[in-house]
Amino acid sequence: MTARILVVDACCLLNLLATGRELELAVALDATFLVTPQAHGETRYLCGPPDPDVDGQPPTQIPVELSPLMQAQRLEVHALSEADAEAFIACASHLRDADASSVALAATRHVPLASDDGKVKKIARRLYPEMEVISTLQIIREAVEHVGIVGEPLKQLLQDLCTRGNFSPPRRDPARAWFEALK
């Protein structure tokens, strides 16, 4: 049984996968990530190297690989039950089903929600002011400081986050200054 449970939405899960060190980060935090089936369904591709055979050489799509996290029991797909229906419906008036289910799951389980999505965070805070909402960068920062990943390995991790995840730190991310200083 891990010390922490976090609900990750599709946005955050993709970002963690983009680092290529998602299992390490989960272990460093002693965390299990919960994802709803709808959010899981939208966690599909990362950005790969350019395709030389296509005009303009657009990036390729690399299917995500969730099995290492799941096999290590650091990621669980957790469907909503009828008991979560009211929370889900309240969220689904404002958010697409994948995002609504993530917020609803975090609300009904009373656990933090990990998201980088501006609209998701806005709605979560409006409907559940007491909910803890954390960002990918906050997760990464806490994990790397816990296990002492610094210097070039840390820069590479953040570089992979940007290139494989097309990540750009949200304007109001609490860890944005930390990220910018390291880039």
Partner 1 sequence: MISSKQLGERIAAARKRQKQTQAELAAKMGFARTTLITIEKGERPLSSVELMRLGEILAVPVNELLREHSVVGEVAPRFRMGPIVGVEMSETAMAVERVRKMAVRYVELERLHEIERVPGRLEALEMYRATAAGARVDPRLAGRDAAFTVRNALSLGDGPALALDERFEVEAGLRIFYPRLGRSVAALFFWSDELGSCIAINRDHPHERRRWSLAHEVGHFLRDREAGDVFPAGGHPRNDPSEVFSESFAAEFLLPQSGLSKQVADRLRANGGRFTPPDIVSLAHLYEVSFEAMTLRLEDLGALHKGTYERLKAHRFRPQDAQAKLGLPRLKADTPILPKRYVTLALQAYADELISEGDLAEFLETDRVTARGMYNAACQQLTDDDDMLELPLGQDLMELGGLDKL
Contact residues: partner 1, CB under 8 A = 10-11, 14, 18, 42-47, 55, 59, 61, 80, 82, 85-86, 88-89, 92-100, 117-120, 122, 164-168
> Given the complex with partner 1, which of 112 and 170 has the nearer CB atom?
170
> How far is residue 68's CA from residue 167's CA, in Å, rounded to a whole number?
22
Tally of CA atoms within 13 A in the half-sphere of 61 that contains its CB: 5
Q: Exposed, middle or buried: residue 154 (CB in 10 Å: 0-12, 13-18, 19+)?
A: middle
Structure tokens given for 181: 């200083």
14 with 39: CB under 8 angstroms? no
CB of 96 to partner 1, least distance (A): 5
Place of tokens 């996290």: 69
> Given the complex with partner 1, which of 55 and 152 has the nearer CB atom?
55
> Given the complex with partner 1, which of 54 and 181 has the nearer CB atom?
54
Listed residue (33, 2, 4, 45) closest to 136, CA to CA: 33
138 with 175: CB under 8 angstroms? yes
CB of 57 to partner 1, least distance (A): 13
CB of 66 to partner 1, least distance (A): 15
CB of 21 to partner 1, least distance (A): 17
Question: Could you give the 3-state DSSP secondary structure of residue 69?
Answer: helix
> Given the complex with partner 1, which of 95 and 158 has the nearer CB atom?
95
CB of 94 to partner 1, least distance (A): 7
> Given the complex with partner 1, which of 61 and 73 has the nearer CB atom?
61
